[in-house]
Each structure stands twice: as C-alpha cells, then as structure tokens.
C-alpha cells in the first residue's frame, strides 16, 4: 500500500529543472528583449506587405536566382506576409518557453466513490422500501412482473415483420434474356444498329412476352442505355468487346451506388454521370467507375442482332443490376 502511494505521488517524472530565466534576472531581461525583437521583425514584415501592396507596381519584375524573372509585387507581398506570421509565431513560442510561469500545479480531484456511510444509507433505504412494497413476500407478483417485462422486450422484434418479405432472388433477375429484342423507350419500337449514329444515346426496354405486363418496378430494373462509339474507341477485354455490336454498347441505367437513373452522358469525354451523388462511369472501359461513391461498374448487357437485323440481348445480365447490396438480397 505504501509503495502504491509512493508511485502515485511520484509517477516517475524527472525532477523539475528551473529555467535560467527563472533564477537569473539578466537571462530574463535578455529573453524579454529577444521576444520583443521577434515581434518587431513581424511588424516589419507586415509593413513590407502593406508597402508593396500600395506602392510596388504590379508590372515590375526582378531577377531572383533559382526563380528567374519574378513579379516584384507578388514576391514582396509573399515575403512580407511570411515574415510577419513566422516571427509572430517564433516570438510567441519563445515567450511561452522562457518567460511564462513554469510552476508544476497539482489538480485536486475528489474521490468518485461515495463515503461509506452514504452507501450504507442507500442500501438500507432500498431494503426498507422493497420490504414495504412486499417484494420479498409476494413471489407471485415478482414472477408475473418478470414475465411481463420479458415480453415487453420481445415486442419490438415482432415489428421487424413490417419491413416486408425479403426480396429473395427477384432483385437479381430482369426481363432480359437470350434473343429478347431491344425496344425504344418511349416508342416501343425494335431498333437496328443503323438507327443509332456514333455519339448517340438511347434508352431501351426489353420486348415482353405475350401476357407479361410492363410495370414501374420492372422498368426500374430493365432500363438500359445504348451508346454508340467508334469501335476503336473501346478499351475492353475480348469478351466484353464481343458483347458490343458495331460500336454499340449497352449498360443498365440503374446506378450501382444507390439506384438512381444514370441519365447524363457527356459526349466529349464519353462519361456517364449519375446526378444523385456524381458517380462517373467511363463508357469505353465498360462503365468503369472513375469518380464518386459507386463501388462497381454499371452492369453491361451483351447484345447482338437477330436474323432481321434488330438488336437483341445475347443473354441476361450476368450480375444483379442496381445498388450493390442487391447482390446480398437472398
Ligand atoms: S445513386 Fe448514383 S451516385 Fe449515388
């Protein structure tokens, strides 16, 4: 115990050393003059700044080694401000280290624990009240209270059911399948490669089988953007290139970040931009993300043409469209 007290009263710090300025009036005076000198140098820097701002012509130049021909006005402004701030800082530090009080101060703390008599009082009061309420005697009430409190805790869990059924696999599939024609949206017309000029963009939806209705939620998953580039502009793997047709490439229009419609195409840069959080996708690189929060490219739909020359899907998307968390929906 006595060792513990000793360790707390002396936690191992080296013995306090007094500064020369604490014990020698000459050193103290010298330090005071040094601090004043730094502040005067700072003031001179500020005056240089003000003088050059008002009197040095903007068009004057001076030759400075390393920098070469340099604008005098800007050079003096920069140097003046730099000296001004630098010497204020040096002066303040020197002042604090040499002249400001250097006493070690102990911050008194009260003990967090309550005194023993207060703790005893508290325990006695709780026992007394519990006895008065008859908790010890009324075991029936004690048990039924436990049951009631336990069930109350379960109630919020039941409400989780209101979040609806899990989406299972339905978010992973769209109406795109092998041989499904691409229809213009709006217009619902099948589209040929020649309908799209280089640089053009079109939104398309899949042609649905008889009896299948187009719903808002199916459009939300099926919408696809067609973009036509020159074939030599692509920077794609051989496989991805085989998913394009004569420079036409198709991507899901649903942003892979949080599902907004990727609606802006910059023809010059060939970037697709999502307006919600500015994810930017590079079309020639299979919609690779080059900026923004999205973590994966827009899914690419493999396309080709049917025997009549209309654009069709080669196969379904090979990954879920939309936000990345859909992948974990099952
Ligand atoms: S939803 Fe597209 S960037 Fe966020």
pLDDT tens track for 233-279: 888 888 888 999 999 999 999 998 888 889 888 888 889 999 898 89
How far, CA to CA in Å, does 34 sit from each of 46, 67, 134, 166, 211? 19, 33, 79, 74, 92
Nearest ligand 1 atom, CA 274: 2
Q: What is the whole-number distance in angstroms between the Cα of residue 262 and the centre of ligand 1?
A: 8
Domain extents in the chain: 1-139, 171-328
Q: What is the whole-number distance in angstroms between the Cα of residue 213 and the centre of ligand 1?
A: 28
C-beta 294 within 6 A of ligand 1: yes
Look at residue 211 in the predicted model and tell me its pLDDT: 81
Angle at 93 between CA 87 and CA 95, to 5 degrees: 100
Q: Compute the chain's Rg from CA coordinates.
A: 39
C-beta 201 within 6 A of ligand 1: no
C-beta 261 within 6 A of ligand 1: no
Query: Taking a C-beta distance cutoff of 8 angstroms, is the pair 181, 223 a contact?
Result: no
Look at residue 330 in the predicted model and tell me its pLDDT: 41
Look at residue 45 in the predicted model and tell me its pLDDT: 92
Nearest ligand 1 atom, CA 277: 3
Q: What is the whole-number distance in angstroms between the Cα of residue 255 and the centre of ligand 1?
A: 6
C-beta 258 within 6 A of ligand 1: yes
Q: Name the residue of 277, 281, 291 to mutate for ligand 1: max ligand atoms within 8 A of Cβ.
A: 277
Nearest ligand 1 atom, CA 279: 3
Biggest CA-to-CA distance, the chain? 103
C-beta 280 within 6 A of ligand 1: no
Which stretches of the chain score pLDDT less than 50?
1, 328-330
In this predicted model, what pLDDT tens digit does every residue of 103-141 receive, in sequence order? 777 777 777 888 899 999 999 998 888 777 776 777 777
Q: What is the whole-number distance in angstroms between the Cα of residue 258 and the centre of ligand 1?
A: 5
271-273 and 201-206 beta bridge pairing: unpaired
C-beta 260 within 6 A of ligand 1: yes
**Residues with Cβ < 8 Å from 177, sequence gap 6 or more?**
206, 313, 315, 316
Nearest ligand 1 atom, CA 255: 2
Residue 250 buriedness (CB in 10 A; 0-12 / 13-18 / 19+): buried
For the 171-328 domain, the top CATH level (class) is mainly beta
255: left (phi over 0), alpha (psi -120 to 50) or beta: beta
C-beta 324 within 6 A of ligand 1: no
């Amino acid at each position: 115990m006595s060792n513990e007290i000793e360790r707390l009263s002396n936690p191992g710090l080296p013995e306090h050393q007094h500064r020369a300025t604490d014990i020698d009036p000459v050193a103290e005076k010298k330090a005071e003059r040094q601090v004043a000198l730094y502040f005067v140098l700072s003031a001179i820097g500020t005056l240089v700044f003000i003088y050059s701002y008002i009197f040095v012509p903007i068009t004057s130049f001076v030759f400075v080694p390393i920098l070469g021909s340099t604008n005098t006005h800007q050079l003096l402004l920069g140097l003046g401000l730099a000296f001004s701030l630098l010497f204020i800082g040096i002066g303040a530090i020197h002042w604090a280290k040499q002249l400001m009080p250097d006493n070690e101060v102990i911050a008194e703390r009260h003990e967090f624990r309550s005194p023993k008599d207060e703790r005893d009082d508290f325990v006695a009061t709780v026992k007394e009240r519990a006895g008065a309420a008859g908790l010890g005697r009324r075991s029936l009430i004690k048990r039924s209270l436990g049951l009631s409190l336990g069930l109350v805790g379960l109630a919020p869990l039941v409400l989780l059911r209101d979040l609806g059924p899990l989406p299972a696999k339905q978010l992973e599939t769209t109406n795109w399948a092998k041989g499904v024609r691409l229809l213009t949206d709006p217009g619902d017309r099948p589209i040929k490669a020649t309908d799209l000029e280089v640089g053009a963009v079109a939104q398309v939806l899949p042609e649905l089988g008889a009896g299948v209705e187009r719903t808002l939620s199916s459009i939300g998953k099926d919408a696809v953007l067609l973009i036509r580039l020159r074939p030599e502009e692509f920077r794609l793997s051989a496989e991805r290139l085989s998913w394009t047709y004569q420079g036409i490439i198709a991507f899901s229009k649903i942003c892979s970040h949080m599902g907004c419609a990727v609606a802006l195409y910059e023809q010059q840069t060939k970037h697709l931009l999502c307006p919600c959080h500015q994810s930017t996708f590079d079309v020639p690189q299979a919609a690779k993300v080059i900026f923004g929060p999205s973590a994966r490219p827009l899914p690419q739909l493999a396309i080709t043409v049917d025997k009549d020359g209309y654009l069709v899907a080669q196969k379904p998307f090979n990954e879920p469209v939309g936000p990345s968390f859909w992948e974990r929906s099952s």
